Amino acid sequence: MPRYTQLIASLPETVPFVGAEVHERRLGRPFRARLGANESAFGPSPRAIAAMAEAAAEAWKYGDSELHDLRAALAARHGVLPANIVGGEGIDGLLGLLVRLLVAPGTPVVTSRGTYPTFNYHVAGFGGVLHTVPYRDDRPDLDALVDAVRSTASPLVYLANPDNPMGCWHSGRMIGDFLDALPGGTLLCLDEAYADTAPPDALPAIAPDDPRVIRMRTFSKAYGLAGLRVGYAIAAPGLVQAFDRIRNHFGIGRIAQAGALAAIGDEAHLRETVARIAAGRERLAAIARENGLVPVPSATNFVTMDCGRDGEFARAVVAALAERGVFVRMPFTPPQDRAIRVSVGTDADLAVLAETLPDALAAAGT
Amino acid sequence: MPRYTQLIASLPETVPFVGAEVHERRLGRPFRARLGANESAFGPSPRAIAAMAEAAAEAWKYGDSELHDLRAALAARHGVLPANIVGGEGIDGLLGLLVRLLVAPGTPVVTSRGTYPTFNYHVAGFGGVLHTVPYRDDRPDLDALVDAVRSTASPLVYLANPDNPMGCWHSGRMIGDFLDALPGGTLLCLDEAYADTAPPDALPAIAPDDPRVIRMRTFSKAYGLAGLRVGYAIAAPGLVQAFDRIRNHFGIGRIAQAGALAAIGDEAHLRETVARIAAGRERLAAIARENGLVPVPSATNFVTMDCGRDGEFARAVVAALAERGVFVRMPFTPPQDRAIRVSVGTDADLAVLAETLPDALAAAGT
């Protein structure tokens, strides 16, 4: 038996998310509608597909360890410098590295109870002590988060804006006020995975060199490239350099860099996808209402639907949908676990949902 | 300023390898021959290229978090069970996870002085105390490694077989004896990145459930897929499960899984590539001898060439080759740093080397 560290030996066997294919293998058949992982069924830019196909023949070369061209393009897009950009194997990978930079065994860390669980997975994985603040009105409670940071003297606080799993958002002004209210020396991990689908006023104006915050972005959502695993963060150059001390320097491969770079260059595809996502949200909200559920207003590529009962009922709805070939997920913790979370999909996907949801609700209710 | 952990604040700014593109940007022009990163210029299987191109359109979906099909194919190839296989973002990624499993601040770790540096990077990154054992006759000194493990009570020892950067190898029988000589409770990290180009007798017969060893393999070398970032390890199921507690579960994307899976299916391409690599090694050895250098016998896709002088001279040769458009690397530590390390390339690549090496040696010698 290997001599694991004390910390590793103490970790649970849980994983943050059970993948779609894992569910399919358990069910014994593929899903008809894949609406559980907040992917973009509208797919990546055709330019990105072409760039990836072209890069495939060059896949014998390691990718650029400095992500030079990709960081330059991202910097231009965001009006920052390449020195403000760090890339990683998805936001999930970057969250792991960020936690490792700031969290040793016993370090207090603050987040909202029930928000993105992979952050918590990493905090536990590095021995941090998680302090979770309940949502207020189904949204992260900014005042209570500040209080928790103060009382725990945490060096790190996580906020997803827009939020996952609820889809809601705070205004950029409120995020700015939140940042100003945090005690000095606290780093805000602002997870903006859903920034591309959010209204512009949900995104705070933050100076790129502001040392108090790191903003996480991804190609997995509106860009339709979840299967590439490219995330990035915008932060002060000193923090970007700190990642270089621990990151997997060749971790973003050649095809991934080529695909992401081409995707940035196709703004028309992004705009079109965002418009389709917005229309899909409306359709999802309508489907929810037609079935007596209450859609939570969303700035993301999913709609969380309040089922109006308890977690047991919502879990039964998720299971009943899965049995009918529809993959959705749900918030993990009470009282938000009274809802189900449905990603925007194609018209065909949403037609499958509309067809199966009444039956699934009936099956869950009995 | 973020409140980094004590460990992070103490880490140096160094990176294990400076990438080829980084060198190119410093030089201001692309290399004519890319022979420094032990990539396979013979490229990936055409089937893998086709599979990656096809998967590109599906890149909007996350990859299978359990790598089900890939692990099944690898298990079949190696005559083990899928439960014996863990995948990761290259061997580099897996080394980081393995170190994290076993190394806390102060944990002693044993390796050979001058062998693969990314392992050391991770040991330092998790606060381990590295005990390095000098090579004997330019090879890892197995007896001295055992002694070092005993005297330090290290839970982890690293051995690359075949070795990088020297290209040499021990027989499988010697590796087996080494494993038997290690004290109980020590895990051997057996890095077999170059297994595919090694003679069969360099690979030890180890039961897949043997808890004393983890064997690292990769698609980056003979498979020609360095830019995909797919590595894997063969280990006892308990150790494989331990990785699940900390790994980035969706870290290997859809295209990467598709490419690796198709590559396994094209044994003819692998055989052909291995034959071309063997021929290339002969050609590299001849070029070395024509120039008064001594090629070290190699079981890898590179040939290390003893320049017969000191590290300063070899560094000058590497620099002179770079100025002439040829990218090579060299061992990091004395006395092996008297050599340069040249990857096998295409005939055209090796012709460029043959053309430039005499001039580079002359320039370095002045």
Distance CA A288, CA A280 (A): 12
H or E element that contains B27: helix B20-27
Q: Which amino acid is at A102?
A: L
| Residues B364/B316, Cβ–Cβ less than 8 Å | yes
> Distance from B309 to chain A by nearest Cα, in Å?
31
Average pLDDT, integer, range A2-22: 93
Whether B66 and A239 lie within 8 Å, measured CB to CB: no
Phi then psi dihedrals of residue B35, to 5 deg: -125, 30
Six token digits for residue A245: 């001390």
| Residues B84/B278, Cβ–Cβ less than 8 Å | no
Whether B249 and A103 lie within 8 Å, measured CB to CB: no
> Distance from B349 to chain A by nearest Cα, in Å?
14
Q: Which of A11, A93, A255 has the CB atom closest to B227's CB atom?
A: A255
> Which residue in chain B has the smallest CA separation from A52?
B56
> Distance from A256 to chain B by nearest Cα, in Å?
8
SS3 of residue A297 by DSSP: coil
> Which residue in chain A has the smallest CA separation from B257?
A227
Band of the pLDDT at A366, cuts 50, 70, 90?
low
Average pLDDT, integer, range A154-172: 98
Average pLDDT, integer, range B311-326: 98
The residue extents of the domains of chain B are 6-43+268-365, 46-266
Distance CA B349, CA A15 (A): 46
Phi then psi dihedrals of residue A15, to 5 deg: -120, 150
Digit-coded pLDDT (tens) for A298-337: 999 999 999 999 999 999 999 999 999 999 999 999 999 9
For residue B223, what are the CA distances in angstroms to A327, B49, B119, B205, B219? 35, 11, 22, 22, 5
Average pLDDT, integer, range B105-128: 97
Distance CA A301, CA A41 (A): 10
For residue A345, what are the CA distances in angstroms to A226, A275, A328? 14, 13, 11
> Distance from B292 to chain A by nearest Cα, in Å?
30
pLDDT at B366 over 80: no
Band of the pLDDT at B16, cuts 50, 70, 90?
confident
B36: which DSSP letter? S
pLDDT at A209: 96
Whether B228 and A34 lie within 8 Å, measured CB to CB: no
**Percentage of residues of chain B with pLDDT beyond 70:** 100
Q: Which residues in chain B have their CB less than 8 angstroms from residue A8's CB?
A: 100-102, 242, 245-246
Identify any residues that bridge with B342 across adjacent strands, giving them in sequence order. Answer: B303
Distance CA A208, CA A85 (A): 9
| Residues A2/B186, Cβ–Cβ less than 8 Å | no
Six token digits for residue B183: 């004290």
pLDDT at A13: 80
Pairing of strands A213-218, A231-234: antiparallel
Band of the pLDDT at A15, cuts 50, 70, 90?
confident
| Residues B41/A62, Cβ–Cβ less than 8 Å | no
Band of the pLDDT at A14, cuts 50, 70, 90?
confident
Q: Which of A39, A49, A125 has the CB atom closest to B56's CB atom?
A: A49
Digit-coded pLDDT (tens) for A168-192: 999 999 999 999 999 999 999 999 9
Q: Which residues in chain A have their CB less than 8 angstroms from residue B253's CB?
A: 226-229, 256
> Distance from B308 to chain A by nearest Cα, in Å?
30
The number of C-alpha atoms within 13 Å of A61 and in the hemisphere containing its C-beta is 21
SS3 of residue A183 by DSSP: coil
| Residues B116/B99, Cβ–Cβ less than 8 Å | no
Longest Cα–Cα distance in chain B: 57
Q: Which residues in chain B have their CB less than 8 angstroms from residue A17's CB?
A: 65, 249-250
| Residues B71/B82, Cβ–Cβ less than 8 Å | yes
CATH code of the region B6-43+268-365: 3.90.1150.10
Whether B252 and A229 lie within 8 Å, measured CB to CB: yes
Which of B250, B252, B277 has the most A C-beta neighbours within 10 Å, making it the best mutation to test the interface with A? Answer: B250
Distance CA A176, CA B81 (A): 52
| Residues B305/B296, Cβ–Cβ less than 8 Å | yes
Q: Which residues in chain A have their CB less than 8 angstroms from residue B225's CB?
A: 59-60
Phi then psi dihedrals of residue B268, to 5 deg: -65, -40
Q: Which of B60, B224, B244 has the CB atom closest to A41's CB atom?
A: B60
Q: Which amino acid is at A236?
A: A
Count residue pairs from A and B with Cβ separation < 8 A.
Answer: 285
SS3 of residue A110 by DSSP: strand
Average pLDDT, integer, range A200-222: 97
Whether A242 and B8 lie within 8 Å, measured CB to CB: yes
Digit-coded pLDDT (tens) for B197-229: 999 999 999 999 999 999 999 999 999 999 999
Phi then psi dihedrals of residue B31, to 5 deg: -70, 150
Average pLDDT, integer, range B336-347: 98
Which of A10, A61, A214 has the most B C-beta neighbours within 10 Å, making it the best mutation to test the interface with B? Answer: A61
Whether B60 and A44 lie within 8 Å, measured CB to CB: yes
> Which residue in chain B has the smallest CA separation from A20?
B64
Phi then psi dihedrals of residue B30, to 5 deg: -75, 155
Phi then psi dihedrals of residue A11, to 5 deg: -75, 145
Distance CA B227, CA A173 (A): 41
pTM of the model: 0.97
CATH topology identical between B6-43+268-365 and B46-266: no
> Which residue in chain A has the smallest CA separation from B24?
A64
Reported in sequence order, the residue ranges of A47-186 that DSSP labels E, i.e. its strands, are: 85-88, 108-112, 129-133, 156-160
Digit-coded pLDDT (tens) for B46-88: 999 999 999 999 999 999 999 999 999 999 999 999 999 999 9
Buried b (16+ CB within 10 A) or exposed e, B186-202: bbbbbbbbbbbbbeeeb
> Distance from B340 to chain A by nearest Cα, in Å?
20
Look at residues B278, B257, B270 and name the one whose alpha carbon lies nearest to residue B46: B270
Q: Which amino acid is at B48?
A: A
Whether A58 and B227 lie within 8 Å, measured CB to CB: yes
Q: Which residues in chain B have their CB less than 8 angstroms from residue A93's CB?
A: 248, 251
Digit-coded pLDDT (tens) for A100-125: 999 999 999 999 999 999 999 999 99
pLDDT at B344 over 70: yes
Q: Which residues in chain A have their CB less than 8 angstroms from residue B155's CB?
A: 2-3
> Which residue in chain A has the smallest CA separation from B107?
A5
The number of C-alpha atoms within 13 Å of B207 and in the hemisphere containing its C-beta is 6
Whether A44 and B62 lie within 8 Å, measured CB to CB: no
Q: State the burial class of residue A315 (Cβ atoms within 10 Å of its Cβ: 0-12, 13-18, 19+).
A: middle
Average pLDDT, integer, range A26-38: 97
CATH code of the region A46-266: 3.40.640.10
Whether A15 and B65 lie within 8 Å, measured CB to CB: yes
Digit-coded pLDDT (tens) for A261-271: 999 999 999 99
Q: Which residues in chain B have their CB less than 8 angstroms from residue A37's CB?
A: 61-62
> Which residue in chain B has the smallest CA separation from A246?
B125
Look at residues B292, B316, B330, B322 and name the one whose alpha carbon lies nearest to residue B366: B316
Whether A60 and B42 lie within 8 Å, measured CB to CB: yes
The number of C-alpha atoms within 13 Å of A62 and in the hemisphere containing its C-beta is 27
Q: Give chain A's mean pLDDT.
A: 97
Residue with tokens 């502001």: A210
Phi then psi dihedrals of residue A214, to 5 deg: -130, 130
Q: Which residues in chain B have their CB less than 8 angstroms from residue A62's CB?
A: 19-20, 37, 39, 220, 226-227
Q: DSSP alpha helices (H): ranges in A79-171?
A: 90-102, 117-125, 142-152
pLDDT at B296 over 80: yes
For residue A324, what are the CA distances in angstroms to A101, A318, A346, A360, B225? 44, 10, 18, 8, 39
Six token digits for residue B237: 């199921």
